Amino acid sequence: MRATIESADRAEISALLSRYYRAVDDKRVDRALVEATFAVDGRWVSPTGVARVGHEAIAAQQIDAIALFRATHHTTTDHLIEFEGDTARLQANVTAMHLWTPGTGDAAALESHFLAGGVFEGHAVRTSVGWRFSELALRIVWRTGALPIHISPEKV
């Protein structure tokens, strides 16, 4: 019985990450999505190390960040989830393509996109409405392609 519950929990946490980044790629990030993904006091830690805490702050930053791109495509793999009671630790690999919105990248550059690979590291908690991330951080391991111009690292 315990293995069945843990398997269902694992699937729910994995789907939480997948659903969230599907919405990012579909440009459907809003407060409702953030509430369905993060705990009330949840933290999103950007690749630049800046943490946003709470639904409002996370939603505002994510909406601003995706506006920088005309399209994105995130692929997550190797979801490793370890449980300790009603908390879980997640680690997953990510490869993501980002196409800059016109005017965001260097007009003289031959490329208007960047590709990055990294690792999501997070913690989830069981709540009365299901699993939610108490923290989700993205650590970039490699990156190639066009760099942005005139964009503060605080924005991404």
Q: What is the pLDDT of residue 21?
A: 97
Tell which residue, 154, 81, 152, 75, has the closest CA to residue 115: 75
pTM for this model (two decimals)? 0.88
Structural contact between residues 78 and 93, judged by C-beta atoms closer than 8 angstroms:
yes
d(CA 116, CA 87): 29
Tell which residue, 33, 29, 30, 55, has the closest CA to residue 42: 55
Q: What is the pLDDT of residue 146?
A: 80
Which pLDDT tens digits describe the chain residue by residue (156 residues)? 566 778 999 999 999 999 999 999 999 999 999 999 999 999 999 998 999 999 999 999 999 999 999 999 999 999 999 999 999 999 999 999 999 888 776 666 667 888 999 999 999 999 999 999 999 999 999 999 887 665 555 555
Structural contact between residues 38 and 71, judged by C-beta atoms closer than 8 angstroms:
no
d(CA 38, CA 53): 10
